[in-house]
Structure 1
């Protein structure tokens, strides 16, 4: 039974960066009712989200090992579970899932919840090394998630991915779908948009598109750069701002240069929340060409700010974007289709505005941070009886 003071929950996350998973965990830390839940956290010792974590959690411990998978970290997490008398261990991100579940079982934690924010089994190629990789991933996750009492999937697509034969084969009854949401009252202060325009060197007459994502292969930026090469001759004022950093940046910069896109693809790097939202606010549309997604926070925020979105129809995208209503869906890895969608919205400000307002209404009606927090709280209490 839950004590009168509420249950003690230890969140385990192997990142303090500014991605979607980190935002979801911070939203829970910030929103959980303290009369019913006392949240603790273990995470890396540095990162842009660390201070926000510290302000929201009852206590924060820094990982002693390189990741949650290191033996030192696993033993440390097990020790924290005992010291803080944790009732529920709540993991997020795959290394945290594996290390956190193992630590929870070593320490004898009453319950373990894993929060799955992405699709791990998106590989469609079934030959050679990729086929072997898919099978190994399936086995790896199948073994890990046996130790969890409940899995939270952020979309129906993620639930299917976990349950199907090529995935982790988790029994569907063990998976609960709880969608996350953007921050309540998301807004851009007056003057921030113009400062963002000046900081990034964007012309007053530029038709701005933006993409907010880590620069990693699965996010599909290479298809966006290729699409911009098709858009540029017809819409010379179109500029695409890539917000985020990562290992693909060098290759993407070289691709943009080789395609003659200097000035029409801007690499803004990692941006703080205020600058990121300001760039989104001045955008005609927000683009996410990912090959796989769970339920992307960047698109939730864009729609909350009244912006239409252009997205690859992969994973949970179709659960968020109503095609031709709140934005445009295109096939994954298809630069020509992506270019066509960009041209449609970049050249029609009225259409872009209508879709953006429809997107804002969809977020207001169907995505609620308060509901997410209430459902997660109820899940904890249900597991503890």
Structure 2
């Protein structure tokens, strides 16, 4: 059996009572040529959504409750007190009711003008190119969050919760910020750290792309799957 992260591997071994040697990790892969920051215009998304160019754009993909978007709005409400240029885009609203839920929650926190509810998108490289920071505030439901992996490939600073296998990707402070799930203070502190130390954040983002290129590329995943299949066939004949 193949799993996409070590955390899921451990769960599978325990729940299915499988021998550990029968369960292997092969990480999902990112198309590093498609998710290449040199290929995309970071201004197109800003123009489309009429976001002022002087804003610091923070984004998360996913507005299901377990994605932690409410905690992210709460953290943003804290951050904008000292950083009024911060603007949050919550991407992936699948219908008007989800968009309304986002705007109503932001309005209740007094930061309606700092939050955009964005529809489901299929042009993620272009969207990520526009971002100054990408967040995954999930508290459930994750293996390794694909958007974080793609944002790292796009050379963007990332904040991820230590949920599922995210810690296997954001494995050190040199490649990103890893925080406890459902901890609004830790999330707000990490957001401020990125905004206040942009030169360091840029260095971390460069390291992050190198990490994805070396360990989480589509080519590496294909190679590992081919090797696994070959070893299985060799053992049978």
- Superposed displacement of residue 381, structure 1: 4.3
Residue 191 of structure 1, CA deviation = 6.8
Per-residue deviation at 1:337?
Answer: 0.8
Report SS of the residue matched to 1:354: helix
Give the secondary structure class of the aligned counterpart of 1:211. Answer: strand
Secondary structure (helix, strand or coil) at the match of 1:239 reads strand
Equivalent position to 2:76, from 228, 233, 249: 228
The answer to whether the aligner puts 1:267 opposite 2:117 as a matched pair is yes
Instruction: Give, in angstroms, the shift of residue 310 of structure 1.
Output: 0.5
Match of 1:278 in 2: 126
Residue 196 in structure 1 maps to residue 45 in structure 2: yes
Instruction: State the distance in 1 between where 2:39 and 2:210 align.
Output: 22
Query: How far, CA to CA, are the matches of 1:340 and 1:158 in structure 2?
Result: 29
Cα contact 1:210–1:279 (8 A) shared by 2: no
Q: Is the 8 A contact 1:188 1:278 kept in 2?
A: no
Shift of 1:162: 1.5
Q: 1:159 and 1:285 mapped to 2: Cα distance?
A: 30
Distance in structure 2 (CA, Å) of the matches to 1:183 and 1:252: 31
C-alpha separation in 2, matches of 1:335 and 1:168: 35
For residue 139 of structure 2, what is the aligned residue in structure 1? 291
The offset of 1:291, in angstroms, is: 1.2
Aligned to 2:67: 219
Match of 2:32 in 1: 184
Structure with bigger RCO (C-alpha 8 Å, 6+ apart): 2
* 2:214 alignment partner, one of 365, 371, 377: 365
Q: CA deviation at 1:241?
A: 1.1
Offset of residue 196 of structure 1: 0.9
How has the CA–CA distance of structure 1 residues 171 and 251 changed in structure 2, closer, same or farther, with 3 Å as cutoff? farther
Q: Is the 8 A contact 1:285 1:352 kept in 2?
A: no
- SS of match in other structure, 1:232: helix
Secondary structure of 2:168 counterpart: helix
In the alignment, the residues of structure 2 paired with residue 182 and residue 368 of structure 1 have an alpha-carbon distance, to the nearest angstrom, of: 5
2:131 aligned counterpart, secondary structure: coil
Unaligned runs of 5+ in 2: none
Counterpart position of 2:227: 378
Unaligned 5+ runs, structure 1: 1-150
Return the match for 2:187 from 332, 338, 357: 338
Question: How far 1:221 moved relative to its partner?
Answer: 1.0
* Conserved 8 A contact 1:284-1:349: no
Say if 1:193 and 1:282, in contact at 8 Å, map to a contact too. Answer: yes
1:171 aligns with 2:19: yes
Between the aligned partners of 1:246 and 1:159, the Cα distance in structure 2 is 31
Larger radius of gyration: 1
Q: Is the 8 A contact 1:294 1:316 kept in 2?
A: yes
- The alpha-carbon deviation at position 168 of structure 1 amounts to 4.0
TM-score by length of 2: 0.88
What CA distance in whole angstroms lies between the structure 2 residues aligned with 1:307 and 1:191?
Answer: 13
Q: Displacement, 1:251?
A: 3.1
Q: Give the drift of 1:170.
A: 3.6
